[in-house]
Structure 1
Amino acid sequence: MARFDRSYLVPAETFLYMAEQLTDPGRPGGPFRALTIDGRRAFRYHSVYYDTPGLRSFHDHRQGRRLRFKVRERVYEDTGERQFEVKLKGKRGDTVKHRRPIVGADTPLDPGYRAFLAETLHRAYGIGSPATLRPSLSTDYLRATFVADGERITCDAGLVCDDLRAGRRVTCGADLVLVETKTAGHLTDADRLLHACGVRPAVFTKYCGALAVLRPALPANRWRRAARWAFGGGDPAEGAEREGPAVDHGATDRRCGPPAP
């Protein structure tokens, strides 16, 4: 529940190459394992994010405040499991997630979950909980997960985001996969493979990136370019982090093509 995250907007062909390489039985150190339940390797996720009327969570993230948090309900649609989650920023800049199961007809705004949020924020940050929270954004997508010792990679396709206050929707390009690497801090083999293919980490989160497109009046320049690439077909190089050498996203490295038939 405590990890460093890196996000990538990956063309589908490059994603297939990466998955093939990571799960190769001959991979040094052994292959990554794909999460499989009842023969399935892709699972439906639904999340609802909660924020203050003034979008405090969004703006705290935009301003880079260390004492920032996100609140959401996550639904694992294939099993019906529901979790109330509070995502915090750790002292090292890592993501620390706290969660509590949601049962029966309970909702994240019920007193027990509000008390859990207040306790979590007080214990971690020494701050109070917002007086008012409202649903702000929902996300739906299909997720595959790969794991190895100390490494986890989530791969999300078909991302759909709905602004629950303004009634607008955006959909991620069908030829893109949102890949997130989650580790204790070091680069994963997936990071190295993607870098070799000319794909750099993107300045992108589902919540902030979607709101940047759904609400153009918001001050969201740090996410706008990557969000336009994800949802509107912009230039992928514009959405990449500025670290490292420039790369040509117009062509795929010969090592990064689709798997051989």
Structure 2
Amino acid sequence: MDRISSILQGFVPISLDEMSRVRLMNRIDTKYVTTVSYLVRLLEMAGVEYRVQEIGGLRDMSYYTCYFDTPDCDMFTQHQRGRKVRQKIRLRVYENSDTAFLEIKDKDNHGRTDKKRIPAVGIGEDIMPYSDFIRSHSHYIPKSLVPQVRNRFRRITLVNSLLTERLTIDTGLCFHNVSTGCERSLEGLVIIELKRDGNTRSPAGEMLHGLHIHPAGFSKYCVGMALTDRQLRQNRLKPRLRMIRRLLYPEQSYLRNNT
């Protein structure tokens, strides 16, 4: 990661205030999954076209998230069944800027994401202070929601020069399941999400294509739940879990394919 820090120092910074002009609350999201070595190559290419978010001198930020779901994991189940219209409810803490939000993310059947959020009341995991907000924007009953899985990761945020797209790059991902107590780390994996308003040109998309990194759906909530609770049905997620193993442990994949 020292190499990544060094490359980021060559980017022109963009402040949090300037970032407010690139909200993209209603947007098209495209995710990519890769490894740190490919991230280094991407960052080496992106310095001319992109600026990096900087807060308090930091360009690689710490995030904490707690995902809520029903006791029978209805939101996870809807995703696992392949339902296109679905929702996630989470507490997101931006640790380096001392801010937190309760967020509701809706995905429609055209692949667009709409996110609504309100400032969090501290960083506790009591959902009830947000009851009115949840009733206004979700069909879930607030008292039926419980913490299911927590995650931590570090995020780099790039913005193109035209302020029409944002690229988030997540590393150091780890999970803790509230119910099972199981913990899993995906150190070495990189989740890239390209967020843009409509079908504008994406220099990052072109760079990723040139590196043979192709779109691949990845839900932190669903992957975290599948990795930390083996009792959950996860047939639809198995290709994604195999991809993770192949990226993180290529030598094991080679041995399986050649024995």
Same fold, TM-score > 0.5, yes or no: yes
- State the partner residue of 2:226: 212
Structure 1 residue 230: deviation in Å?
Answer: 3.1
Cα deviation code 1:219-260 (max 9, x no counterpart): 22232232344368356xx9xxxxxxxxxxxxxxxxxxxxxx
- State the partner residue of 1:109: 127
Q: 1:17 aligns with which of 41, 49, 52?
A: 41
- State the partner residue of 1:80: 98
Whether 1:139 and 2:154 are equivalent positions in the alignment is: no
Percent identical: 31
In 2, are the aligned partners of 1:204 and 1:227 still within 8 Å (CA)? no
Q: 2:204 aligns with which of 166, 178, 190?
A: 190
Q: Partners in 1 of 2:213 and 2:176 — Cα distance?
A: 27
In 2, are the aligned partners of 1:74 and 1:84 still within 8 Å (CA)? yes
Q: Aligned pair count?
A: 224
Structure 1 residue 53: deviation in Å?
Answer: 0.4
TM-score when normalising by structure 2: 0.78
Q: How does 1:1-261 map to 2 (within 5 A)?
A: 1-24=25-48, 31-90=49-108, 92-104=110-122, 107-110=125-128, 112-121=129-138, 127=139, 129=141, 131-148=143-160, 149-174=163-188, 176-186=189-199, 188-230=202-244, 233=248
Structure 1 residue 56: deviation in Å?
Answer: 0.6
In 1, are the aligned partners of 2:182 and 2:229 still within 8 Å (CA)? no
SS in 1 for 2:216: coil
Letter in 2 for 1:180: E
SS in 1 for 2:37: helix
In 1, are the aligned partners of 2:46 and 2:204 still within 8 Å (CA)? yes
CA RMSD of aligned residues (A): 2.3
Q: Partners in 1 of 2:125 and 2:149 — Cα distance?
A: 16
Q: Unaligned regions of 5+ residues in structure 2, if any?
A: 1-24, 254-259
Structure 1 residue 37: deviation in Å?
Answer: 1.5
Q: Partners in 2 of 1:228 and 1:114 — Cα distance?
A: 38
Cα deviation code 1:83-138 (max 9, x no counterpart): 0000112353211100000134765412x4121011012xxxxx453651110000
Letter in 1 for 2:69: D
Letter in 2 for 1:82: A
Q: Partners in 2 of 1:201 and 1:34 — Cα distance?
A: 22
In 1, are the aligned partners of 2:131 and 2:142 still within 8 Å (CA)? no
Letter in 2 for 1:143: R
Structure 1 residues 106 and 161: alpha-carbon distance in aligned structure 2, compared to 1, 3 A threshold? closer
More helix by share: 2
In 2, are the aligned partners of 1:170 and 1:231 still within 8 Å (CA)? no
Q: Partners in 2 of 1:198 and 1:211 — Cα distance?
A: 28
Q: Partners in 1 of 2:51 and 2:141 — Cα distance?
A: 39
Q: Unaligned regions of 5+ residues in structure 1, if any?
A: 25-30, 122-126, 239-261
SS in 2 for 1:180: strand
Q: Partners in 2 of 1:132 and 1:14 — Cα distance?
A: 42
- State the partner residue of 2:8: none
